[in-house]
Amino acid sequence: MTSVASSGSEAPGELTCTICLDAFCYPCTLSCGHSFCLTCVEGAWYATKSFSCPQCRVTFPQRPQLNKSVTLANLLEQRNATDELATVVLCDFCNDGTTAASNTCLKCDMSYCATHVKPHQENSKLSSHILVDPATNPEERKCKKHRKKIKFYCQQDESLVCTTCIIAGDHKGHDVATLEDEHNTREKQVGEETRAVEEKKREAEESIKRMEAAHRDVQGSMTGVRQRINGEFTRMRAALDEDEKTTLARAAKKERELLTQIEKNIAHYQHEIGELQAAAAHLEGLAQERDSLAFLQGSMTEVRQRINGEFARMRAALDEDEKAALARASKKEQELLTQIEENIAHYQCEIGELQAVATRLEDLVQERDSLAFLQWHMEEMHRTGRVRTAQPSAPSQEDIASLKVLETTTVKFMYGRSPTLDTNSAHNQLQISSDLRTMTRTRVSQGHPDHPQRFDCCAQALCCESFSSGHHYWEVDVGDARQCRVGVAYGTIPRRGGGDAQWLGGSDTSWCLEKCGGIFSVFHGGVKTALSVRGAPSPCRIGLHLHWEGGLLAFYRADSMEVIHEVRKRFSQPLYPAMWVGYCNDRLEIVDLSRAS
């Protein structure tokens, strides 16, 4: 390969400005003989407010006339022209010394112009020769130590070497490969890395879609939450106004009764006064009785004022509770939306980085020059801090797990319920609390009245509420219960008689999660499936999420919202929350999520 070399004899420093340390731009020479760029010397004089040579410090009495140095300008033009010519790679077959090469053959180590390169392009015997752009610096393809052509890659030292290096040099006896073999090996590795990057990018994009869907769900659900809050407090205010009217009516009725009785008494005493004119002392007492009427009338006015004041205070407290409830709902909404937006920004940033990596890898795969490929790939590995022997890492699941926790927390907030136990279904050994959310198994019968919906063999109960559409989430505190089951059942679950069908999970009408000591299992249709619940200690609170149309029943560790088990089934009837407790003195409690949040 032939290239044109510079013929200039001038030292580089002779064409360099000592102020900016770069090639002259409009050079000018002072009377002392030193030369500078016009703008550089003018800037130096402007800063010092005096006229002296920036190099030898000779001071001039007045500002010198700055004219262009024609000699230096001509030298600069000649050097620039020579530099441009020096970068041209010439054809090794043309003898005119001016024809530029269009391609370089790595195997022949020769450069060809457009005419002389045709045999390589048309002859099938030369198809294995690799043509690249003309090499502007042949020395870059040679070993720096032996000045011979680089042909091998040392796998032990991870460096590019020549034949002398592996025969008698520092790499003698090392494992080496040809540039082409190492190129092929790393090309496969790049392909695997590209696929891993694309997979991680795809997962990040899917995460954004899910987060955006959660964003929309939160915004949509909060509209319903606000409407329910406003509706509930409107109903409570209406009920309070009605109670106020009723109480005031009763007070007015009592007032009329008292006044009527007093008026009757006054009439009676007035009649006596007429008959007993002689009893003057008694007439004074009767006069006091008239004052009593005024007193009683004043007292009733005070009663009305107290009633009005008390109801006004209750209304103010109710308004304050409504504001607090709406504020808590808005705060929770804002926290969820902020977390979702932060995750979306994180994934968008990660997608941008992954896209840049994918673009670089795609460019690298297209490189046919083995040496250029390996140099580029080694530089990329060094830049990203990866080692060659490392396998392409599988996409991290940390973000997916974080997203799952956020999604389940959103479900808990949006679809939280606090069902109450149906006392008509409770077994006689179950003691139900006054708030209908706790059941305790006792040794003696509780004497519940006979009812066709009551379980007569299993110590279990259903809830009053049933779900036949939508999402619903509730939690059961199993505490230290030694053996218990929580789940859902159709209303058609058998209530009387022996057999497994009456038990939760004993037939096709019910599904449940059982805790027995520290072991967890799921039951349905009388079939037991053992589970491996990670984490210690065992969960004390179980969360249940029902999506009726979606055919999903999921059990969670309520403390971490980690999924314990999911049931997939197309439901056909309304489902009732259900619980069973196996040992006396053990208790289960349905968590009041309105207070827990």
Centre a 10 Å sphere on the Cβ of residue 359 and count the other Cβ atoms it contains: 10
HEC states along 532-560? CCCCCCCCCEEEEEEECCCCEEEEEECCC
170-175: average pLDDT: 88
- What's the whole-model pTM score? 0.40
CA 210 remoteness from chain centre: 10
SS3 content of the chain, % helix, strand, coil (to 5): 45, 20, 35
52-56: average pLDDT: 90
Non-local (6+) Cβ contacts of 440 within 8 A are 430, 431, 433, 581, 585, 586, 587
So where are the chain's domains?
2-87, 103-141, 198-372, 416-596
For 424-461, the pLDDT digits (tens) are 999 999 999 999 999 999 999 999 999 999 999 899 99
Q: Is the pLDDT of residue 400 over 80?
A: no
411 falls in which pLDDT band (50, 70, 90)? low
Please give the pLDDT value at position 298: 46
For 245-304, the pLDDT digits (tens) are 887 888 788 878 888 888 887 887 777 666 666 555 544 544 555 555 554 554 456 556
Do the Cβ atoms of 246 and 238 come closer than 8 Å?
Answer: no
Do the Cβ atoms of 229 and 379 come closer than 8 Å?
Answer: no
The CATH number that domain 2-87 falls under is: 3.30.40.10
Q: 416-596: which CATH number, 1.20.1250.20, 2.60.120.920, 1.10.760.10, 2.170.190.11?
A: 2.60.120.920
Cα–Cα dist 385/391, whole Å: 13
Query: What does the longest C-alpha to C-alpha distance in the chain come to?
Result: 163
For 291-326, the pLDDT digits (tens) are 555 545 544 565 566 677 767 777 777 777 678 767
